């Protein structure tokens, strides 16, 4: 089925595979900050307010930049900012649609608490309020689902952090430099690459009809979360994620009863840059749980830097989950239930 061009076209009317194929271009997005002037106040904390796909880039950046940051970095995915937010805090409100009510609420609080503010959005009320208030903003290209615009968002976030002096602007070059390599990697997962040579299709066939559980470590945790989101929204399939070492202190025991033929597919997302003790936990956990859960399917993230591995893992997640959507007989693109929920809340 996955090698039948007609089936792919029929079951992917919104062109999700084509969007995934072009994601590598997003790391070269010609990003600009509008109204970026500020009073050079010291930034001691950074808070990124965003939900779902709009929070993904911040979670990746927090992991990637951990050793490069001299400030506290927190990602808020709710209606309220931490009480510590003040004039020394940079609050970045991130919403692809620009209409996410939780993020708009955080923007309003940031203004009341005299924070320095940046906005990342493709339009909507967030951009409108930023224009009215002359708030620093990056307008991201519109027309796609937030989860598929994550690399646009990452590039915009890095520029905004650089604009306020939190990181070196050279980091933006590191993001862009990955484009050519990501392009060549992406070509391995395209629809016209047959299943016997296409790892994305192979993994989709292994996981279809099951509930996936994605495990990461300190570095790959955000990628595991991305895989969970992609499975939820592309494949319309429930999925779960967790991270080591915490998983060994609770979830590990949850696998220890009932038959091994549980309707799950377990994926271990591994990085060569991960802490060696966490890599050891992947190995030992799978061995000790043999006969108690399905054997874990390892996914070794490709790339010669932590950033490249993170980017590779995120694009790969979309390809695999889109192929699962096609096997599930669902359109990968729309998220109708989310839109219905927003209307009900309104």
How far apart CA 251 and CA 119 sit, in angstroms, is 37
Number of H helices and E strands in the chain, helices first, is 14, 9
Q: Is 169 labeled as catalytic in the residue annotation? A: no
Q: Which of 112, 258, 295, 342 is catalytic?
A: 342
Please state whether the peptide bond connecting residue 124 to the residue before it is cis, i.e. omega within 30 degrees of 0. Answer: no
Q: Which of 102, 185, 233, 274 is catalytic?
A: 233
How far apart CA 325 and CA 208 sit, in angstroms, is 9
The residue whose two tokens read 């790339």 is 303
CA gyration radius, the chain: 20
The first and second tokens of residue 218, run together, are 């300190």
Report the candidate in 33, 166, 168 with the shortest Cα–Cα distance to residue 91: 166
Q: Is 249 labeled as catalytic in the residue annotation? A: yes
Helices (H), 177-215: 179-186, 199-207
**243 bridge partner residues:** 216
Per DSSP bridges, beta strands 72-76 and 89-95 are: unpaired
Report the candidate in 270, 297, 302, 271 with the shortest Cα–Cα distance to residue 286: 297
Q: Which of 42, 249, 343, 344 is catalytic?
A: 249
Task: Say if CB 53 and CB 98 are below 8 A apart.
Answer: no
Helices (H), 188-305: 199-207, 221-233, 251-254, 276-288
Which string of b and e fits 268-295 if b means at least 16 CB within 10 Å? bbbbebbeeebbebbeebbeebeeebbe
Q: Is 258 labeled as catalytic in the residue annotation? A: no
Catalytic positions are 233, 249, 342
């Amino acid at each position: 089925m996955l090698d039948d061009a007609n089936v792919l076209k029929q079951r992917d009317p919104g062109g999700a595979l084509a969007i995934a194929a072009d994601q590598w271009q997003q790391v070269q997005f010609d990003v600009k900050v509008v109204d970026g002037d500020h009073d050079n106040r010291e930034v001691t904390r950074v808070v990124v307010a965003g939900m779902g796909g709009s929070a993904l880039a911040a979670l990746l950046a927090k992991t990637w930049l951990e050793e490069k940051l001299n400030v506290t970095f927190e990602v808020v995915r709710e209606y309220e900012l931490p009480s510590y937010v003040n004039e020394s805090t940079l609050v970045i409100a991130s919403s692809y649609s620009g209409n996410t009510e939780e993020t708009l609420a955080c923007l309003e609080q940031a203004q009341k608490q005299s924070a320095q503010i940046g906005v990342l959005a493709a339009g909507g009320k967030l951009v409108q309020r930023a224009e009215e208030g002359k708030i620093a903003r990056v307008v991201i290209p519109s027309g796609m689902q937030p989860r598929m615009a994550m690399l646009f968002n990452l590039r915009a976030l890095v520029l905004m952090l650089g604009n306020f002096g939190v990181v070196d602007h050279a980091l933006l070059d590191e993001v862009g430099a990955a484009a050519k390599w990501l392009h060549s990697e992406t070509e391995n997962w395209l629809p016209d690459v047959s299943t016997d040579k296409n790892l994305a299709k192979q993994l989709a066939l292994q996981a279809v009809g099951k509930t996936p559980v994605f495990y990461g470590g300190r570095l790959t945790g955000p990628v595991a979360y991305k895989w969970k989101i992609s499975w939820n929204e592309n494949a319309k399939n429930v999925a779960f994620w967790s991270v080591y070492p915490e998983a060994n202190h609770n979830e590990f025991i949850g696998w220890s009863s009932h038959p091994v033929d549980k309707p799950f597919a377990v994926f271990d997302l591994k990085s060569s840059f991960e802490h060696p003790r966490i890599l050891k936990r992947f190995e030992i956990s799978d061995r000790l749980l043999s006969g108690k859960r399905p054997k874990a399917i390892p996914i070794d993230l490709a790339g010669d830097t932590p950033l490249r591995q993170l980017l590779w893992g995120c694009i790969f997640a979309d390809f695999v989950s889109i192929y699962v959507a096609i096997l599930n007989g669902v359109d990968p693109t729309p998220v109708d239930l989310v839109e219905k929920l927003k209307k009900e809340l309104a």
